[in-house]
Structure 1
Amino acid sequence: MHIQFLGTSAGRPTKSRNVTSAAFVHSEPSNGFWLFDAGEGTQQQMFGTKLKLNKLDKIFISHLHGDHIYGLPGLLSSRSYFDGAGPLVMYGPPGLRAFIDGVFLHSGTYLEYELTITEIGPGVIMDDGQYKVTANELVHRLPSYGYRIEESEQSGHLDLEQLRRRGVEPGPEYGKLKRGENVILPSGELIRSTDVVGPPIPGRIVTILGDTCPCDNAVELAKNADLLVHEATFESGMEEKALAYGHSTVRQAAQIAAKAGAKQLALTHFSSRYDDEAVAELIADGQQLFPNMLAAYDYLEVPVPRTSV
C-alpha cells in the first residue's frame, strides 16, 4: 500500500508541480488504485507512472474547486479506451453529479463503462470488508471533505515451525487455520487455530484531507493515522491570509498531525509562490513541531508499512 502524488501545487500548475491529485495504491487483491481529486492534467501525469485507468475503480473528490476537478471529464472519457475498464464509483460533495452530467451532455461524451456518482455527507460512505472510508466536512470556501481510509485487520502469522513439528504439511490446512478453523490430522490430533496463529495484524489508516483551515474534524479524521496527507498552502506567519482563503500553513498542518497522533505527515498543495528551495525551508520549520514530516512532490511514492506485532 502506498500513496503516489500526481499533483502537489495549489490553485494552478507550475513548471515542476501539477494541480492536486493523489493515487491510493492497494496492491491486494486487485492490484488497483483509487484517485483522490483530479485537477487539470491528471491523466497526463499518469503517463509518468505505472498507473493504468483500467485499474482505477474509485474516485474521491474533496470539493468542487477547479484545481481539484477540472481533470475529471477527460480522464473519465479516456478510461473508455482501456480494455478491462469495469464499473467506476465516484464520491464527492453535492454538485458533482451536475458538473459531470453537464460536461458530458454538452460535449456529447458517452462512456463505455458504468459510472456511479455518489454525493456524500458526513459518515461512513463505503465499507467493502477490506477498507472502510469515512468522510467529514472541513472548513473551506466551498463544502470540502476529508477522507479516512481504514484497512481491516489481517489474520496473524502462522507458526510454521510448530506446524512442521506437529506434521502439518503446507496445503489447504494452512488456509483453514488462518481463517480461524481448527484442523483434525489423519492421526486424529486436533490442531487449534488459536495455538498456531499469532495475534491479528492491525489494519493501516490513511487520511487524505481536502482544502481546509485547521478544524476539529481534521483532527478526528486523522486520529492515529499511519499517514496523514494535509494541505500546506502558506508559510508560517500567513495565518490570516490562510484563514481568508480557507487554507492552512505548514505549522498549522503540523499541529493537526500532532494533535491527532498521526505517525507520518505528507504535506501538499503548496502555493505557486514557493519554489523547491522555499518548500524545503517550510518543512524544516514545520519539523520543529512534527518531526516525521515530508514535502510531497509530483510522482513521489509514500509507502504505508504494516505495524509490527
Structure 2
Amino acid sequence: MELEFLGTGAGQPSKQRNVSSIALRMLNERNEVWLFDVGEATQHQLLRSNTRSRKVRKIFITHMHGDHIFGLPGFLTSRNFQASETSDNGRPTDIEIFGPRGLKNFVINALKYSQVRLQYHIKFITAAPGKIFEDDQFVVKAYPMNHGIEDYAYRVEEKSTAGQLQVERLLDLGLKPGPIFWSSQNRRNDHFR
C-alpha cells in the first residue's frame, strides 16, 4: 500500500498545494486505488502522478465542505471516458462512494444538471460511526469528528493472514533447521527427513 497526497491545502488551493485529496494505492494488494476526499483539481493532480482514475474503485468523503467535494462530479465524469480498463460488460468498472448524508444528492444533482450519463454504476453508502466496509482483506471504520458539520475520519485496517515460511529461501541463506522451523511448519518438512 502507498499513500499519495494529491492535495493537503485547507479551504483553498495555493500554487504549491491543491485542496484535499489522498489516494491510497493498493495496486499490489488488489490492483485498485481508493480516494479520500476529492477537492477541485484532483483530476489535474492525478495527471501529474502515476495513479490512474480508472483504478479508483472506492471514494471516501470526510465531510461536505466544498474543498473536499467540488472535484467529485468532474472526476466521475472524466472517469466515464476511461474505458481502457473495463468490467466484463465492456464499460468502466463500477464505483462505491462513502460519505455523510447529503453526498448522494450532491453528486446526483451535479450530474443531472450537467446532463452527464455515466456508463458505470455508483453505489452510495452513507457513513455512520463504526464499520462501513468489510471484505476478506480489509475493514474500514468511520469515526465521527468535531468539525461543525457531520464529519468522519476513516481507518483502513488490513486483516491478518497466516504467513508461509519460505523454507527454500532460508536454506539458501544458510539458516539451519531448528525449533523455529518446526513451530512455524506445524509438521515436519520434507526437506529435513
Aligned-residue offset at 1:80: 0.8
Q: Which amino acid aligns with 1:97?
A: K
Structure 1 moving runs of 4+ over 6 Å: none
Distance of aligned partners of 1:196 and 1:32 in 2 relative to their CA distance in 1, 3 Å threshold: farther
Q: Sequence identity, in percent?
A: 39
Residue from 120, 135, 142 that aligns with 2:149 = 142
* 1:152–1:141 CA distance, 2 compared to 1 (3 A): same
Residue in structure 2 matched with residue 194 of structure 1 by the alignment:
186
Partners of 1:95 and 1:105 lie apart in 2 by 15
Counterpart selection for 1:97 from 101, 104, 107 = 104
Q: 2-side partners of 1:70 and 1:19: how far apart?
A: 10
Q: Does residue 39 of structure 1 match 2:46?
A: no
Two-structure CA RMSD over aligned residues (Å) = 2.1
1:70 aligns with 2:70: yes
Structure 1 equivalent of residue 165 of structure 2: 158
SS at match of 1:133: strand
Which of 119, 122, 125 in structure 2 is aligned with 1:115?
Answer: 122
- SS in structure 2 opposite 1:94? coil
Over 3 Å counting, the alpha-carbon distance change for 1:161 and 1:114 in structure 2 is: same
How many residues were matched structurally?
A: 171
- Distance in 1 between residues matched to 2:168 and 2:43, nearest whole Å: 48
SS of 1:39's equivalent in the other structure is: coil
The residue type paired with residue 143 of structure 2 is: N
**Alpha-carbon distance between aligned partners in 2 of 1:48 and 1:149, rounded to the nearest angstrom:** 25
* Conservation of the 8 A alpha-carbon contact between 2:165 and 2:185: no
TM-score between both structures, scaled by the size of structure 1: 0.52
Match for residue 56 of structure 1? 56
Q: 1:107 to 1:157 in 2, by over 3 A?
A: same
Structure 1: give runs of 5+ residues left out of the alignment. Answer: 165-191, 198-309
Aligned-partner Cα distance in 1 for 2:25–2:169: 35
For residues 47 and 166 of structure 2, what CA distance do their matches in structure 1 show?
43
- In the other structure, the counterpart of 1:133 is 140
8 Å CA contact 2:13, 2:19 repeated in 1: yes
